[in-house]
A and B are shown apart, each in its own frame.
Chain A
């Protein structure tokens, strides 16, 4: 079993190496993009996994003592910890995919194309120049901090070209006012309404790499949690049948070891992704 655990460590180790290389190459991307992860959800997930690890260790103890009811109870508690972890993870993932915080070029596609998305259509309607005549701010540096979605497109011309870069707003602002005015009557949702992360002027290049390694590592970890649920389910079946006792508890022990290593990997993933200062 320990040899298998060693292969697991090497398996995740390769991804940790990829993480280290990316982070040493793009430190600004990691310190920036980490703020898109929900520390509360990650912290709760850490606690859930630690407690499920505890119940798994207690299950081994009760199997050794031959306490069948306590064993089955602890296995169910471990199982519910795994389910809770995946439910929280599901909310995190769907939120990010919803916002196009994903790997690859899709990261740079504004996520406003879903029909009937109330929140986003309200957001996208806000910059309509005719509906909301907001006076143009005079301070260009203040303008750049305002989300693109919340400001009339005409204001784009107020941004200094130096801040917008070679392909940024400076080049784009000239046709915007006319195009937006022409487009407005037919299409109340402007096509250029970006998501929050695309509107952020501090977004460093290659930020999608953070999400690539994030999904790779947490995804592989999530697969391990699913596998853990399957084997713990088998344990529950056998424990309920009364297979385990002081003379025979090796399956509980070994699956417990597997479950602890899943917990152990998350102990490293949590600070490395969620807690970057």
Chain B
């Protein structure tokens, strides 16, 4: 990677002919390889869906998505060759989203017991009026005894 990067950079300097480049000339081979990796990872994440590894399914799916996102940001969005400040902005805001998510999930988990288990009244009324036979009126306890 470092080799092709240097080669491409030399190429770009020739073409720019003295002009300061805003970005970096990412080699076509790198772009194609990135896209191929993304497609392969997509196939893997679809395949993992059909394997039951319990609670780890979601974490594997998120992990693959994070790897794919990192690939897109690093090569397609050429963060690898950008100013580090851009990386700081991007990773920083993502981390704050994760922080907000963690606190919201923890917080709603705290008062879970006080929340209703069945359908909300409006939905239940519509259900009773339109499809009185539909077994959707089941409560949570009935589904998982």
Q: Is A275 an interface residue (CB 8 A)?
A: yes
* Interchain CB contact under 8 A, B42 and A47: yes
Query: What's the nearest-Cβ distance from chain B to residue A150, in Å?
Result: 13
A–B pairs, 29, beta carbons within 8 Å:
A10-B97, A13-B101, A43-B46, A46-B42, A47-B39, A53-B35, A53-B72, A54-B34, A57-B75, A57-B76, A61-B25, A61-B26, A61-B28, A105-B126, A108-B134, A165-B135, A165-B138, A199-B135, A203-B136, A205-B139, A205-B140, A247-B19, A256-B77, A260-B73, A267-B65, A267-B72, A276-B49, A277-B52, A277-B57
The 0/1 profile, CB within 8 Å of B marked 1, for residues 13-29 of chain A is 11011001100110010
| Nearest neighbor of A250 in chain B, beta-carbon distance | B22
From 108 to 145 in chain B, residues with beta carbon under 8 angstroms from any chain A beta carbon are 108-109, 112, 115, 117-120, 122-128, 130-140, 142-144
| Nearest neighbor of B27 in chain A, beta-carbon distance | A61
* Interchain CB contact under 8 A, A272 and B12: no
* Interchain CB contact under 8 A, B133 and A16: no
Partner of B142, one of A13, A39, A163, A198: A163
Number of interface residues of B (CB under 8 A): 80
CA distance A165 to B138 in the complex (A): 5
Query: What's the nearest-Cβ distance from chain B to residue A246, in Å?
Result: 5
From 1 to 44 in chain A, residues with beta carbon under 8 angstroms from any chain B beta carbon are 2-3, 5-6, 9-10, 13-14, 16-17, 20-21, 24-25, 28, 39, 43
Query: What's the nearest-Cβ distance from chain A to residue B52, in Å?
Result: 6
Q: Is A168 an interface residue (CB 8 A)?
A: yes
Q: Is A162 an interface residue (CB 8 A)?
A: yes
